[in-house]
Structure 1
Amino acid sequence: MPSDIKIAASELEQQVEGCDLEAKLAAGRDGRGEVPKNVYETYSAMANTDGGVILLGVREHESGRLEAVGIPDLPRVQKALWDGLNNRQQVSENILSSESVKVLDVEGNRILQVRVPRASRHQKPVHVGSNPLEGSYRRNHEGDYRCSAEDVRRMLAERVEDERDGRILVGYSLADLDAQTIAKYRQNFRAAKPDHPWNSEPDAEFLRLIGGYRRNRESGEEGVTEAGLLMFGKLAEIHEHFPHFMLDFQERAEAKTQARWIDRVTLDGTWSGNLFDFYQLAMPRLVRDLKVPFELRGDTRVDDTPVHEALREALVNTLIHADYSGRISVLVVKRPDLFGFRNPGAMRMAVDVAVQGGVSDCRNRRLQTMFRHVGLGEQAGSGLSKVYASWRLQHWRAPELADRTTPYEQTVFTLRTVSLLPETTVSGLQALLGEQFRTASEIQKLAMVTVALERKVTHARLRSMSEAHPRDITVALAALVQRGILETGGAHKRTYYYFPGQPPPDDPALGFEAAGRGETPPPPAASGMGAPAAADPSFQHGDPSFQHSDPSFQHSDPSFQHSEELMRLAAPFRAKRRMSGAEMEAGLLQLCDGRFLTVAELARLTGRSADTLRNHHLTRMVSEGKLRLQHPDQPTHPVQAYTKA
């Protein structure tokens, strides 16, 4: 049996920095130790999300501080844990290895550290008991929650279907496909492969050869595949099978979360509405006016730079990895400071594995093949790594890939066209912080610059941009907090750091607070938004990154920023990271009593995410008549606000 790992009490937090954490006393009735009944719910939730760490024999205080209490009869608890994990009546699958469970000796108090990995899609849903519809859990900011039946069915489909776009659609025929789109695709195919024998085939056979039409030899059934419909279909016919199907490209003139768009491609009925035509319309707009140096090969100018290639790869990746049964849109955003890509559907593998490259698990493999036939998309598993390499060549900030499960499963890929350490940003911080910035370590400077540019920084974000050891990053961030340069929000894996008094909006990248619910920012002539909140004048050094004019801070109550009463009412939220449902409800009703507050305002006051507030509290309280909407006729209004009924 491996020996205990001895650590100091001060090192306990560092053991789990950057991890989703659940601490449980595990004392039992006799105080000798017992596996808590809900530990398997947490095990299921972590396995079905991004993994995490369970500490048994540890008390977590309301402040978030961890205290190792210890388990007197630790071998009994350890055996009971393994017995439960290997009991199929208890949990559906044991995904732990012997290395996953370790004994930590924290200054004489022995505790169990259980590292739960992210389950593969072939293992999900990991559930408690025998019924996945009732026993599947996931993690969010508030802890474990039971998955909806829709989420469970999606995981079960992902588990058994290697490709999600190969199904034959009964009742669909070639008449449901857009003939002009097929002709354009064949023209591109002929240009890429002029001598290919498929060029002489009629459309029906050509579609069969590329995966758009299929015949089942066992049943004799044949017809258009889901891939064929998505790639070449007519919009009405696509919506019959994929009712939530939505494609949206927006070019925004300003580096703001919800800035007005100046150019847009969406499903407005003026074009076919299928994926190939969307690519043809969106790609030229993505690279239009792209300010990167061209290359010379001999005396020939080559305008197709690595950045062009990276954007092509990012757009194709978004389209071929989307789950078109999902409830949110494919969204592509072009801003002066970034390119953003979002697709419905969580990633099929962990983010770090996808970024490393070499492994491919494409959700829509027939779509992937169709794009590759016309020279679009890299070989399996190499696309993302090529995008990262192209961004490094420009000395831009590392791309950010995020996998989310709330409010709906989605993947977000953000490519910022901003230097790792922009000179104007560094100058602004030097002017503001003086010696504190000049004497900071390189990793601390990178953290401060990231907060200035992105409104927040996390342990994981710094790891993606630096080769520093994770423990060095932990120490560097802790020192910045101790000096009062940064403040923290969230806890453990979800801990983020920001400048004092300037907490970040819910999602600073693409404005998904509205778009995540199927909404989009208003067009140029239709905006009723007020003026943004004034930026801190000490940060106005010519760098737009410092001009914090995010519409998330456009408060419906003009006295919001100066209301001592609101800050007093919100104090319990900030003091207590975990609150019961009843406490949350009572506190929200107090805040909304006699005033309208938006979800962004409530998020800033309470320190909770807008998604958590909306999905777990506000929507329910409105339906129960405890809150009422400022815009009852438009429930998804971009600046919807709530007041006590």
Structure 2
Amino acid sequence: MESEYIKESLRIKGFLDELLANKESGEVEFKSAKGGFPGSFWETYSSFANTDGGVVIFGVREKHGIFSVDPLSEATVTDFKKKFSDLQHDREKVSLPLLTDKDIVSEAYGDGYVLAFFIPRATRDQRPVYVGLDPMTGTYRRDHEGDYRCEPSTVSQMFADRKNSEVLQEAKILPNYNWDDIDLTSFRQYRTLFTNLIPSHPWAVLEDLELMKKLGGYRKDRVSGEEGFTLAGLLMFGKTESITDVACLPDFMLDYRDIPQDTSKTRWIDRVYSDGTWECNLFQFYRRVLPKLHAFLPKPFVLKGDERQEDTPIHEAVREAFINLCVHASYSRSPRLVVEKRPDGIVLRNPGTLLISVPQYYEEGHSECRNPSLQKMFGLIGRSDKAGSGVDKILEGWKYAKWRRPYVSEKSHPDVVELFLPLESLVSDTTIGELKRIFGDGIVELPHNEIIILSMATTEEEISNASLQNAVDLHPSDLSKLLRKMCNDGMLIASGFGRGTTYRLNRGNVAGSNLANSDVASSDVASSDVASSDVASSKKTLTHSDDDNVITMIREACRHQWLSSRDISLKIGRHPTHVRRIIKKMLENGSLRQEFPNQPTHPAQRYHNV
């Protein structure tokens, strides 16, 4: 969550008005606070800190599902700030103080004030953040229904995920396991790959046991003197029955499915799972599934020197995503890794939670690994990077293909991280043709991000900084600068002010004139005589066509899961206003259903394909 972005936005009345219109969400919660400092605040404090952060706003009340501002007095705001500061540092109230003075913002609204607490996501070493003295009963997390108390096993996993945890789960020594539990074929194949890639590496000549020690698959405990194969060693090279033994991971499962367009006749057209025909370990799963994912990716004719380059940035991106699935999974609870190839994209699910926030996931250089030994094993065969560039490679690969940006999300009950790699182009031929007609053929020479912004502006009534953040790889402040530049260059027209600014395509530049020579760069198309009825007709046809595309994308996104309108917007890369309009149309024609049909405005409303 971009707390600084929202804090700045709060100073504009329109921001709070928008929050009121959208009701509560996973990142925002309102509390009246007229009866005193709400005791339930601390549960929300814990849940936001243990999830993705959020903002709690005092001075807003709810009645019959309707939210309205119920402002606080200046004296109440002052009293609440002091009370919060005292309680935050009371160890018996909450385990950790996270907020500073700059994270608490009061703002005049109506005849009083609203008070906002911007709660950041706690780091992996700070989690769990809990209420009271017992983490097993006082730890909360957030989902679409609000705050919920974590199960003891979830709390234990948070403690295990800490960097300073006594022993990482993957380093756990498995008693009474020996070489009979290792699939020697897998280990030999791995050694061959490693030796061929780095023949001069000093580990290449080590005996099997010594190499296994270097990889982290076998270790000796310096305190107890116990030694043996580790969980990491079994996960990578173990035999199926040894991994799934009650002494290891009885629920362990690796599953790949190729989902067809029409699932009414068959659920999948290809599947790789533990069917007894292969040793179900991570290395063999990698060898069997990755080629299937690579097989349907485009292979453009690109030369590297005198040889054709088969391994394109797209292939590298899929490989990094697959390895991330393995090395970032939490294997202690529901250890099931799932890969699905769908007509609209690739879905990869691993058990656990993100060790960094979603915004950090998209930023360069952030790397927190749950299973460093597994990361080392894949890294030595050239398939993993410890520098935090794995996600960068995924994003660059999709940018290279001009596909929609990958979308990562966290789900709970049980905890799952899902990465969706869409196989849909951000810029269709129809959109490029429309942009050429407005701005001239030279438009295709613009930088990638500008093309993406223009393409979205072509099919949306309006765009904004917030609606573009899932489509371009820029920080919100840098995106604002680019949008201003595009307005100055005559490509976009801005409306509103500050964070409430929206943009639309400057269609006044029609008839193929060059941007540099445009006389209507800063004019509003509504007042421009250049816009013709032909352009209006073209826009109508394009919008209608895009509505059909959005309906198709929403149906695919909601085919296998319930999603909120916000999640749908992020997943398909469309403006929330546009998505809500299409959802309404789909509800009317019966092609979409609500999770709470008797409460259409339910704050946790989600949708599913019929």
Quickly name the TM-score band, shorter chain normalised. 0.7 to 0.9
Query: What residue is the counterpart of 2:599 in the other structure?
Result: 573
> Pick from 334, 356, 366: which aligns with 1:359?
366
Secondary structure of residue in 2 paired with 1:207:
helix
- For 1:379 and 1:257, the matched residues in 2 are separated by 43
State whether structure 2 residue 328 is matched by structure 1 residue 279: no
Q: Tell me, yes or no, if the aligned pair for 2:60 and 2:67 is still in contact at 8 Å.
A: no
Query: What residue is the counterpart of 1:446 in the other structure?
Result: 456
Q: Tell me, yes or no, if the aligned pair for 2:220 and 2:227 is still in contact at 8 Å.
A: yes
Show the 5 A alignment for 1:160-559.
160-161=164-165, 163-240=168-245, 241-254=248-261, 260-327=267-334, 329-404=336-411, 406-423=412-429, 446=456, 462-466=468-472, 468-469=479-480, 476=502, 508=557, 511=560
- For 1:303 and 1:562, the matched residues in 2 are separated by 42
Query: What residue is the counterpart of 1:35 in the other structure?
Result: 37
* CA offsets 1:503-538 (integer angstroms, 9 cap, x no match): 987982783579xxxxxxxxxxxxxxxxxxxxxxxx
- For 2:311 and 2:591, the matched residues in 1 are separated by 52
Query: What residue is the counterpart of 2:514 in the other structure?
Result: none
- For 1:252 and 1:503, the matched residues in 2 are separated by 16
- Structure 2 residue ranges without an equivalent (≥5): 1-7, 435-450, 484-496, 505-538, 540-546, 564-581
* CA offsets 1:297-348 (integer angstroms, 9 cap, x no match): 2332111111111111111111111111232621112234322211111110
Query: What residue is the counterpart of 1:95 in the other structure?
Result: 98
Q: 1:35 offset after TM fit, Å? A: 1.0
* CA offsets 1:554-603 (integer angstroms, 9 cap, x no match): x9xxxx9499xx99x9764114437xxxxxxxxxxxxxxxxxxxxxxxxx
Q: 1:403 offset after TM fit, Å? A: 2.1
- For 1:283 and 1:427, the matched residues in 2 are separated by 36
Distance change in 2, residues 1:183/1:513 (3 Å): farther
- For 1:442 and 1:309, the matched residues in 2 are separated by 23
> Pick from 1, 9, 16: which aligns with 1:12?
16
Query: What residue is the counterpart of 1:54 in the other structure?
Result: 56
Q: 1:236 offset after TM fit, Å? A: 1.2
- For 2:225 and 2:10, the matched residues in 1 are separated by 65
- Aligned residue identity for 2:363: Q
Query: What residue is the counterpart of 1:69 in the other structure?
Result: 71
* CA offsets 1:256-300 (integer angstroms, 9 cap, x no match): 799732221111111000000110111111111322313112332
- Cα root mean square deviation, aligned: 4.1
Normalised TM-score (structure 2):
0.72
Q: 1:253 offset after TM fit, Å? A: 3.5
- For 1:459 and 1:19, the matched residues in 2 are separated by 20
Q: Tell me, yes or no, if the aligned pair for 1:447 and 1:462 is still in contact at 8 Å.
A: no
State whether structure 2 residue 157 is matched by structure 1 residue 151: no
- Aligned residue identity for 1:226: L
> Pick from 75, 79, 84: which aligns with 1:81?
84
Between the aligned residues of both structures, percent identity stands at 34
Distance change in 2, residues 1:448/1:166 (3 Å): farther
- For 1:258 and 1:459, the matched residues in 2 are separated by 43
Q: 1:426 offset after TM fit, Å? A: 8.8
- For 2:552 and 2:503, the matched residues in 1 are separated by 16
Q: Tell me, yes or no, if the aligned pair for 1:89 and 1:129 is still in contact at 8 Å.
A: yes
Distance change in 2, residues 1:310/1:477 (3 Å): same
Secondary structure of residue in 2 paired with 1:283:
helix
Secondary structure of residue in 2 paired with 1:415:
strand
- For 2:464 and 2:597, the matched residues in 1 are separated by 24
- Structure 1 residue ranges without an equivalent (≥5): 29-33, 429-440, 452-456, 479-484, 486-497, 515-547, 579-606, 611-637, 640-645
Normalised TM-score (structure 1):
0.69
Secondary structure of residue in 1 paired with 2:169:
coil
Distance change in 2, residues 1:214/1:328 (3 Å): closer
* CA offsets 1:234-258 (integer angstroms, 9 cap, x no match): 1111112112211111223428799
- For 1:232 and 1:97, the matched residues in 2 are separated by 48
- For 1:510 and 1:223, the matched residues in 2 are separated by 45
Q: Tell me, yes or no, if the aligned pair for 2:14 and 2:500 is still in contact at 8 Å.
A: no
Q: 1:409 offset after TM fit, Å? A: 1.0
Q: 1:500 offset after TM fit, Å? A: 13
Query: What residue is the counterpart of 1:643 in the other structure?
Result: none
- For 1:510 and 1:180, the matched residues in 2 are separated by 40
Q: Tell me, yes or no, if the aligned pair for 2:60 and 2:71 is still in contact at 8 Å.
A: yes
Distance change in 2, residues 1:257/1:244 (3 Å): farther
State whether structure 2 residue 137 is matched by structure 1 residue 134: yes
Distance change in 2, residues 1:204/1:510 (3 Å): farther
- For 2:559 and 2:279, the matched residues in 1 are separated by 26
- For 2:193 and 2:300, the matched residues in 1 are separated by 27
Q: 1:354 offset after TM fit, Å? A: 2.0
Query: What residue is the counterpart of 1:105 in the other structure?
Result: 108
Secondary structure of residue in 2 paired with 1:396:
coil
- Aligned residue identity for 2:94: V
Higher relative contact order (CA 8 A, sep 6+): 1
- For 1:270 and 1:5, the matched residues in 2 are separated by 57
Distance change in 2, residues 1:88/1:374 (3 Å): same
- Aligned residue identity for 1:166: A
Secondary structure of residue in 1 paired with 2:223:
coil
Q: Tell me, yes or no, if the aligned pair for 1:88 and 1:129 is still in contact at 8 Å.
A: yes
Question: Which stretch of structure 1 is more off in the superposition, 43-52 or 441-450?
Answer: 441-450
Q: 1:156 offset after TM fit, Å? A: 1.9
Distance change in 2, residues 1:283/1:332 (3 Å): same
- For 1:418 and 1:306, the matched residues in 2 are separated by 16
Question: Which stretch of structure 1 is more off in the superposition, 79-88 or 11-20?
Answer: 11-20
Secondary structure of residue in 1 paired with 2:425:
coil
Q: Tell me, yes or no, if the aligned pair for 2:52 and 2:358 is still in contact at 8 Å.
A: no
